[in-house]
């Protein structure tokens, strides 16, 4: 479980006054063009969830070329280190919601802005990993560090990936026991620190029936009618006060023709909340809506009843980092030093898994500014990226100087 240690003996001035650290921080500015080029290259390699292999292979080659000992684990994560544990892990997810269909979909506009799917989420995070890998390889710190750095480009963060890459990393011995804390880099903007894990549970609702002709077989149970009733019933749910929560039906499909009674109909449902208990409550409401819709359709039908099935396709735990966690005090100290104004937020990221397991973790942006995530018009502006990279490096050094390794 997490050990909350106040960073009293680690003034940030002691770190930034080190000549080696200053050289590294300046390196982010010197390497600006290289970082931008790597950023564009990696974004031009399609990496939709479950199909991250090509980008992972490219990333593996880059880390090895920079002198890191790197490999791909059984989950598909690219894992790199320069020594034995214990470790502080710096991670960024490989996958994107939308993949570019051609390399020219990732473009640089006249004003220097990057445009295309995944350039911010999570092209920015992956570029940060490479930037840190490059400066760290030439880093010979005189500081007393108690942990080594572990770099991870992980799979399965988006959508139905269900955080599988991070789950594997946190639960696969012996490496999992050697990681004292996680710094998750997701997206660009540096105005937030994710310390609360937004939980989610996702389901596929399916109805089935015999199907038939819309005229001659009229009266048979209709899976699409039943599904629509279930969606309508569930959408009327009043969330009320209490933990912030949300429900969404994001996909509906089924049927074969306008003049045919469908044999199948399916919908995918997303339930989110800051509370695991609230999610359980909403899952029960969804289940009741499905059962009620099935019963209503079968009462109406004169023959050929419908069946219903509710299948869970994803689950992300809700959790929260303790307010007095050392990692939170460290990032706040770094932000104060760099003049970054940030706020704490709740979001669904790879940090959900370590936080839920009691391992200190936060998710932060990589620097620069981005927007339009999960659309074809996603964008990233690299100006100011070096500030975010300096923030990451200083946080890592504070964590690595922690004698307790941030985790008991």
Q: How many C-alpha atoms does 299 have within 13 Å on its Cβ side?
A: 6
Q: What is the pLDDT of residue 408?
A: 47
217 and 272 assigned to the same domain: yes
Please check whether residue 406 lies inside any domain of the structure. Answer: no
Q: Give dist(CA 52, CA 49) in Å, integer.
A: 6
Of 286, 314, 342, which residue is a domain's last? 314
Nearest one of 274, 276, 325 to 1, comparing CA atoms: 325
Q: Give dist(CA 216, CA 268) in Å, integer.
A: 31
Please check whether residue 6 lies inside any domain of the structure. Answer: no
Segments in the chain below pLDDT 70: 1-10, 141, 405-408
39 and 127 assigned to the same domain: yes
Which three-class secondary structure state does DSSP give residue 142?
A: coil
Q: How many C-alpha atoms does 101 have within 13 Å on its Cβ side?
A: 1
Please check whether residue 3 lies inside any domain of the structure. Answer: no
Q: What is the pLDDT of residue 242?
A: 84
Q: What is the pLDDT of residue 5?
A: 44
218 and 332 assigned to the same domain: no
Question: Cβ distance 91 to 153 under 8 Å?
Answer: yes
Domain that holds residue 270: 199-314
Structure tokens at 67: 């002198």
Please check whether residue 224 lies inside any domain of the structure. Answer: yes
CA angle 388, 391, 392 (to 5 degrees): 90
Question: What DSSP assignment string belongs to 39-67?
Answer: HHHHHTS--BTT--HHHHHHHHHHHHHTT
Q: What is the pLDDT of residue 1?
A: 37
Within 10 angstroms of residue 235's Cβ, the number of other Cβ atoms is 12
pTM of the model: 0.91
Please check whether residue 7 lies inside any domain of the structure. Answer: no
211 and 254 assigned to the same domain: yes
Q: What is the pLDDT of residue 7?
A: 44
Within 10 angstroms of residue 19's Cβ, the number of other Cβ atoms is 8
**Domain count within the chain:** 2
């Amino acid at each position: 479980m997490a050990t909350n240690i106040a960073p009293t003996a680690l003034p940030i001035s002691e770190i930034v006054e080190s000549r080696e650290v200053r050289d590294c921080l300046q390196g982010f500015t010197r390497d600006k063009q290289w970082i931008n080029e790597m950023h564009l290259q990696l974004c031009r390699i399609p990496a939709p969830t479950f199909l991250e292999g090509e980008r992972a292979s490219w990333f593996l080659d880059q880390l090895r070329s920079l002198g890191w000992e790197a490999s791909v684990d059984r989950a598909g994560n690219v894992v790199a280190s320069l020594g034995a544990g214990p470790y502080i892990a710096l991670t960024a997810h490989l996958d994107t919601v939308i993949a570019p269909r051609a390399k020219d979909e990732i473009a640089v506009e006249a004003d220097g802005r990057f445009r295309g799917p995944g350039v911010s989420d999570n092209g920015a995070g992956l570029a940060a990993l490479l930037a840190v890998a490059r400066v760290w390889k030439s880093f010979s710190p005189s500081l007393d560090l108690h942990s080594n750095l572990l770099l991870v480009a992980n799979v399965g963060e988006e959508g139905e990936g269900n955080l599988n890459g991070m789950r594997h990393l946190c639960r696969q011995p012996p490496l999992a026991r050697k990681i004292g804390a996680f710094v998750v880099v997701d997206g660009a903007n540096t105005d937030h620190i994710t310390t609360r894990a937004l939980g989610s549970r996702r389901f596929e609702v399916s109805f089935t029936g015999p199907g038939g002709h819309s005229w001659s077989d009229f009266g048979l149970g209709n899976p699409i009618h039943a599904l629509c009733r279930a969606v309508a019933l569930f959408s009327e749910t009043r969330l009320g006060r209490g933990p912030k929560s949300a429900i969404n039906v994001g996909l509906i499909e089924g049927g074969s023709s306008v003049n045919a009674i469908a044999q199948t109909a399916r919908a995918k449902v997303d339930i989110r909340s800051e509370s695991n208990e609230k999610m359980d409550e909403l899952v029960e409401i969804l289940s009741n809506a499905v059962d009620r819709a099935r019963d209503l359709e079968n009462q109406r039908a004169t023959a050929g009843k419908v069946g219903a099935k509710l299948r869970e396709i994803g689950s992300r735990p809700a959790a929260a980092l303790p307010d007095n966690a050392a990692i939170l005090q460290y990032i706040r100290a770094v932000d104060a030093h760099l003049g970054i104004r940030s706020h704490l937020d709740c979001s669904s990221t790879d940090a959900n898994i370590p936080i839920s397991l009691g391992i200190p973790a936060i998710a932060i942006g990589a620097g620069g500014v981005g927007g339009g995530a999960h659309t074809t018009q996603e964008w990233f502006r690299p100006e100011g990226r070096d500030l975010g990279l300096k923030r990451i490096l200083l946080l890592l050094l504070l964590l690595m100087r922690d004698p307790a390794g941030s985790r008991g």
